[in-house]
């Protein structure tokens, strides 16, 4: 009963925490830099232009780091998460209960997952947000703090267009991949929740394409 009560309390706290806004007064500009927030229902990531006048990501995450080079990549999907889960869990069915218990009890080291995209399409699971140039610059600065210094330790991704890198940060049940996403958005000035351990706590603040 104690474990069930603790789980219910955690779920309630996450709902409350994700419903309290940061940057309450933010309004999306009519024009600027379009980014996207991507979700698979459990994990969120940020999709950014590969190159624009503010940031060229090619030196940080070159296409030569993935198996499928030579494609006309236009965007990167960048996310932070727990190292062992990222590297050794290609599907959620592969997630070990022991790994879950370790993360709850001790946490784990961080890693970045970077996927190279060609013109990603908006959908209910890939939601665009427009930022001003200065807001995007702040987002970039925040994301750069999660980029590991060189030389970087690289790991094969799940497919030919993605790759993992060891990264700074400590993953815990309260400092999750989704918290990283909302922290990055908050640094840019975007309205988002205070505490968002689950993907739904991030996505509920972002309009679907049909709502825009």
Name the burial class of residue 155, with classes exposed (0-12), middle (13-18) and buried (19+) by CB atoms within 10 angstroms of its CB: middle
Q: Which residue has the tokens 């309630």?
A: 12
Higher pLDDT, 97 or 36: 36
Q: Is 141 left (phi over 0), alpha (psi -120 to 50) or beta?
A: alpha
What does the pLDDT look like over 3-59, one tens digit per residue? 788 778 888 999 999 999 999 999 999 999 999 999 999 999 999 999 999 999 999
Mean pLDDT of 95-123: 88
User: Is residue 87 very low, low, confident or very high in pLDDT (cuts 50, 70, 90)?
Assistant: confident
CA 182 to chain centre: 8
Q: What does the alpha-carbon distance between residue 197 and residue 117 come to, in Å, rounded to a whole number?
A: 26
User: Is residue 201 very low, low, confident or very high in pLDDT (cuts 50, 70, 90)?
Assistant: very high
Domain residues for the domain of 127 are 2-211
pLDDT at position 98 is 77
Closest CA to 184 of 109, 78, 84, 110: 78
Q: What does the alpha-carbon distance between residue 49 and residue 33 come to, in Å, rounded to a whole number?
A: 8
pLDDT higher than 70, residue 211 = yes
Q: Which residue has the tokens 């968002």?
A: 196
Higher pLDDT, 1 or 199: 199
CA 124 to chain centre: 16
What does the pLDDT look like over 110-132, one tens digit per residue? 999 999 999 999 999 999 999 99
Q: Structurally, how many domains does the chain consist of?
A: 1
pLDDT higher than 80, residue 65 = yes
**pTM of the entire structure?**
0.94
């Amino acid at each position: 009963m104690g474990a069930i009560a603790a789980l219910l309390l955690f779920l309630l706290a996450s709902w409350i925490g994700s419903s309290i806004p940061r940057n309450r007064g933010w309004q999306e500009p009519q024009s600027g830099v379009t980014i996207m927030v991507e979700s698979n229902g459990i994990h969120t990531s940020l999709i950014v232009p590969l190159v624009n006048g503010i940031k060229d990501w090619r030196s940080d995450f070159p296409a030569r780091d993935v198996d499928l080079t030579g494609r006309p990549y236009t965007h990167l999907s960048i996310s932070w998460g727990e190292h062992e889960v990222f590297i050794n869990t290609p599907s959620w069915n592969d997630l070990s209960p022991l790994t879950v218990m370790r993360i709850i009890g001790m946490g784990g080291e961080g890693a970045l997952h970077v996927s190279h995209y060609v013109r990603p399409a908006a959908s209910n699971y890939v939601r665009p947000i427009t930022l001003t140039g200065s807001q995007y610059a702040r987002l970039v600065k925040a994301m750069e703090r999660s980029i590991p210094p060189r030389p970087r330790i690289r790991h094969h991704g799940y497919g030919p267009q993605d790759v993992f890198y060891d990264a700074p940060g400590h993953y815990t049940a309260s400092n999750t991949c989704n918290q990283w996403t909302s922290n990055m958005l908050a640094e840019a000035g975007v309205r988002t929740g205070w505490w968002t351990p689950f993907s739904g706590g991030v996505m509920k603040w972002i309009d679907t394409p049909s709502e825009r």
